[in-house]
Structure formats: C-alpha cells, structure tokens
C-alpha cells in the first residue's frame, strides 16, 4: 500500500499519513521506532510497545517470599499504600 508523499520540515520532521496511523493503531503521544536496512536503503516504521508497570512484574527478586496468592498480594498492596502514605505524611508534618 502506497500513500501520498510527505514533506520533511527544516527540523527533520514528517507527518505520518492517516492510513499508516490507522493501520498501526497510532495515536497522539505514541512512540515509533525506525528500523534501517542500509543495503536496500529502506526504513521500516514500527510502533513501540506501550509501557505498563505490570511489564516489570517479576523482574526483581523479593527479599522475603510472601505466602499470598497473586490476588491476595494485590489486595494487600491496595490496602498498604494508603496506610504508608498517611504515615509518611504524619512524619513530615511532625518535622
């Protein structure tokens, strides 16, 4: 599929044609990467995976292994964060 040509600005910027944005499901703020093929003098444009904090799950080894299921751990974290934040706020107000 070919699209209409686009012009490069003085800053080296181009507009990605609407057909390409739709095909790749790109929206404002998304990131893309350029894959260069020097032999063919071609460039492939690919969307960068959206970062999710959940993608980091399991990347750090815990000091203590909890005896909780995944759902129990999530519930514990949801309850622990507000308590920890409140304690931190109290400490900072005492100073």
Question: What local confidence, expressed as pLDDT, does residue 81 receive?
Answer: 82
Question: What local confidence, expressed as pLDDT, does residue 68 receive?
Answer: 80
Q: Answer yes or no: is 26 within a domain.
A: yes
Say yes or no: 70 and 44 in one domain: no
CATH number for the domain including 45?
2.10.260.10
Mean pLDDT by 10 residues, the chain (95 residues): 88 94 91 93 89 74 77 84 83 77
Q: Answer yes or no: is 59 within a domain.
A: no
Q: Answer yes or no: is 58 within a domain.
A: no
Compute CA 31 distance to the chain's CA centroid, rounded to the nearest angstrom. Answer: 9
What residues pair up with 35 in beta bridges, in sequence order? 44
Expressed as residue numbers, the domain containing 77 is 64-94
What residues pair up with 36 in beta bridges, in sequence order? 43
Q: Is the pTM of this model over 0.85?
A: no
HSE of 88, CA atoms in CB hemisphere, 13 A: 6
The number of distinct structural domains making up the chain is 2
What residues pair up with 44 in beta bridges, in sequence order? 35
Say yes or no: 72 and 44 in one domain: no
Phi, psi angles (nearest 5°) of residue 44: -110, 135
Helix (H, G, I), strand (E, B) or coil at 19: helix
Cβ contacts of residue 4 below 8 Å, gap of 6+? 17
Say yes or no: 41 and 68 in one domain: no
């Amino acid at each position: 599929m070919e699209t209409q040509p686009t012009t490069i600005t003085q800053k080296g910027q181009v507009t990605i044609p609407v057909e390409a944005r739709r095909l790749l499901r790109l929206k404002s703020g998304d990131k893309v990467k350029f894959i260069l093929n020097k032999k063919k003098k071609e460039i492939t444009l690919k969307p960068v995976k959206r970062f999710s904090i959940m993608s980091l799950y399991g990347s750090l080894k815990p000091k203590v292994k909890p005896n909780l299921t995944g759902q129990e751990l999530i519930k514990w974290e949801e309850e622990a964060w507000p308590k920890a934040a409140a304690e931190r706020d109290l400490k900072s107000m005492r100073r």
